[in-house]
């Protein structure tokens, strides 16, 4: 876990950063993909915008941070950062955009994963997180803004994908370019990471069934055992069509 700003200039770059509003968001949405990327040798990080507290069954922020660290270990994550923005009161604004953009400049990811839609009947922080992430990707590449970024150089994120929560619709509205990652070999890792959040799911035994079912449905539609669906912020061009579509 890393909750402090250290020497920005000497941080190893990350290939991928996934952004969640709370600890457990990215595990629920794309934990299988993150575990797969880590197995494939990519450097993967998670940024949680808030500590997720208060919640009814947690003893406080320390428990949530411990759970998040344990979950990251299960997935093989190289770096996990909590920005400690206010849970339940998370709002898209300059301060939160700059805070996340600083992490993008600090770790220089090629790919960012984040929320892609509102989550009705769930936390409104998710929608705010989407807007913060969109803006931070833009702010990360802006020059002539040293008042906010000090000596951190600009960084352009190459690709941005939206993830979906297990309870979200299979298609993210307004995003025509979608893809499914095969997580057949890492689904159990994803579930193990989610089980680290005792404060959030120990009293919800149906959670594993719901996540497994969502992954099975997403995978079946793409011809694999289990999958996680992403939408591209922009269409993705491929060079080798046969290799891309016949990868299996």
Domain count, the chain: 1
Cis, peptide link before residue 26, omega less than 30° from 0: no
Q: Helices 25-39 and 187-195, interaxial angle, to 10°?
A: 140
Residue 107 has pLDDT above 70, yes or no: yes
The rounded distance, in Å, linking the Cα atoms of 186 and 103 is: 27
pTM over the 0.85 mark:
yes
Chain segment 215-224, per-residue pLDDT in tens = 999 999 999 9
Which parts of 7-155 are beta strand (E)?
16-20, 44-50, 79-85, 111-115
What pLDDT, on a 0 to 100 scale, did the predictor assign at position 91? 97
Which CATH number does the domain housing residue 79 bear?
3.40.50.10320
Residue 135: closest CA among 92, 164, 105: 92
Residue 4 has pLDDT above 60, yes or no: no
Does residue 81 form part of some domain? yes
Does residue 212 form part of some domain? yes
Write phi, then psi, for 60 (nearest 5 degrees): 140, -175
């Amino acid at each position: 876990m890393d909750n402090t700003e250290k020497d920005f200039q000497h941080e190893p770059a990350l290939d991928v950063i996934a952004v969640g509003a709370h600890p457990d968001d990215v595990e629920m949405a794309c934990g299988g993909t993150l575990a797969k990327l880590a197995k494939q040798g990519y450097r993967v990080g998670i940024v949680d915008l808030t500590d997720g507290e208060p919640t009814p069954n947690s003893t406080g922020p320390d428990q949530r941070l411990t759970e998040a660290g344990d979950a990251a270990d299960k997935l093989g994550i190289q770096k996990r950062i909590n920005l400690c923005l206010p849970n339940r009161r998370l709002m898209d604004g300059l301060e939160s955009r700059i805070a996340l953009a600083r992490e993008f400049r600090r770790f220089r990811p090629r790919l960012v994963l984040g929320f892609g839609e509102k989550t009705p009947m769930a936390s409104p922080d998710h929608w705010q997180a989407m807007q913060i992430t969109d803006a931070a990707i833009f702010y990360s590449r802006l020059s002539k803004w040293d008042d906010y970024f000090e000596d951190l150089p600009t960084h352009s994120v190459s690709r941005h994908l939206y993830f979906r929560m297990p309870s979200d619709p299979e298609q993210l509205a307004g995003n025509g370019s979608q893809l499914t990652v095969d997580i057949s070999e890492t689904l159990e890792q994803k579930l193990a990471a989610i089980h680290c959040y005792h404060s959030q799911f120990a009293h919800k035994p149906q959670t594993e069934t719901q996540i497994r079912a969502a992954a099975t449905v997403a995978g079946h539609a793409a011809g694999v055992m289990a999958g996680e669906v992403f939408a591209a912020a922009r269409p993705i061009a491929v060079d080798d069509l046969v290799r891309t579509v016949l990868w299996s």
